[in-house]
């Protein structure tokens, strides 16, 4: 049981009024320089048959090289009954990923499922795969903080995807949930190769609020570190998904929750509110929690996503 209210006293109307924290000096230049450096690299992507049968997809193991010479593992799905006309990178939550998702409603798409550095198929000492430690890795060093490397893993996933499926140029999407949603919001402003995106209960929005609101999960680890070591906003202000979202120019679909004990709803809605362009909101009753009606909401969300990505 939570010893706090996971709505934090906000209703939908109030959540839609939350504004982003101020942008730190040099924010855009910080990320643009990282993107330029990453684009000089060859991902050296490799795929091999994955021992799993599915009626609609050929399944492959994936590996590619990211920045800092990280070997990233994951999966690729290729449709069996149609040619590849578009392609999608899918980010995971902080629990990692055990395998690919087969229920994403984007026909004609090849899917790439990377495991971000330190997690699942991309485990690498000395990075912990425990979210409460992973989120603190190099948090005292702005330029080496782990989230920046994960953003670069996403960019390099796009590079790998385009080398595997050059026919998908101009028809690329990103989907990310929780951790992966926040990483997506940080990555996409500087990534011109992606045309549409979906964030589901995205993390890392409004870091100032994230440090203040009671919570569980990785955010609690960050709060505990802050209490012990002092001001970490010197780093975190450059990893604020709501600040980054102000720079996203593509259409974005966001599923944000009214109640969530792991990723506080004000942070989620900060990201949605900050998006300056075409956007669509799907309001979830709860995030990171089971609830009556959850299956019906998921079905409705998938239906919305099918329509949203039909324009990819």
Could you report the per-residue pLDDT of 124-135, keeping only the tens digit for each? Answer: 999 999 999 999
Cβ count near 144 (within 10 Å) = 13
Dihedral sign computed on CA atoms, order 234, 232, 183, 71: positive
CA 129 vs. chain centroid, Å, equals 17
Query: Whole-structure pTM over 0.95, yes or no?
Result: yes
Residue-level pLDDT at 65: 98
Torsion of CA 197, 203, 206, 212, to 10 degrees: 170
In which band, very low, low, confident or very high, does the pLDDT at 1 lie, cut at 50, 70 and 90?
A: low
Structural domains in the chain, sorted by start: 24-302 (3.40.50.1820)
Q: Which residue has the tokens 């990178």?
A: 89
Q: How much of the chain exceeds pLDDT 70, in percent?
A: 99
Could you report the per-residue pLDDT of 209-221, keeping only the tens digit for each? Answer: 999 999 998 999 9
Q: What average pLDDT is seen over the chain?
A: 96
In which band, very low, low, confident or very high, does the pLDDT at 52 lie, cut at 50, 70 and 90?
A: confident
Distances (CA, A) of 28 to 38, 210, 232, 236, 251: 15, 21, 20, 14, 20
Residue-level pLDDT at 308: 98
């Amino acid at each position: 049981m939570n010893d706090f209210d996971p709505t934090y006293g906000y209703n939908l109307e109030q959540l839609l009024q939350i504004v982003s924290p101020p942008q730190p000096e040099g924010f855009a230049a910080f990320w643009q320089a990282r993107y330029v450096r990453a684009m000089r690299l060859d991902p050296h992507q490799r795929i091999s048959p994955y021992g799993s049968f599915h009626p609609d997809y050929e399944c492959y193991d994936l590996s590619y090289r990211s920045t800092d010479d990280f070997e990233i593992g994951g999966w690729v799905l290729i449709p069996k009954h149609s040619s590849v006309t578009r392609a999608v990178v899918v980010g995971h939550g902080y629990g990692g990923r055990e395998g690919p998702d087969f229920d994403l409603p984007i026909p004609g798409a090849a899917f790439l499922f990377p495991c971000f550095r330190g997690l699942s198929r991309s485990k690498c000492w000395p990075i912990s795969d425990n979210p409460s430690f992973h989120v603190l890795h190099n948090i005292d060093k702005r330029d080496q903080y782990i989230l920046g490397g994960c953003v670069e893993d996403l960019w390099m996933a796009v590079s790998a995807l385009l080398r595997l499926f050059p026919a998908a140029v101009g028809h690329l999407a990103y989907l990310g949930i929780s951790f992966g949603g926040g990483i997506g919001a940080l990555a996409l402003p500087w990534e011109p190769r992606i045309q549409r995106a979906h964030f589901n209960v995205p993390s890392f929005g409004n870091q100032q609020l994230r440090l203040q609101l009671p919570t569980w999960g990785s955010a609690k680890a960050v709060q505990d570190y802050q209490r012990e070591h002092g001001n970490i906003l010197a780093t975190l202000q450059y990893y604020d998904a709501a600040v980054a979202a102000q720079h996203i120019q593509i259409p974005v679909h966001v599923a944000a929750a009214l109640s969530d004990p792991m990723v506080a709803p004000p942070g989620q809605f900060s990201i949605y509110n900050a998006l300056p362009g075409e956007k669509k909101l799907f309001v979830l009753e709860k995030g990171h929690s089971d609830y009556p009606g959850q299956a019906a909401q998921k079905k409705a969300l998938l239906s919305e996503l099918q329509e949203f990505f039909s324009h990819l």
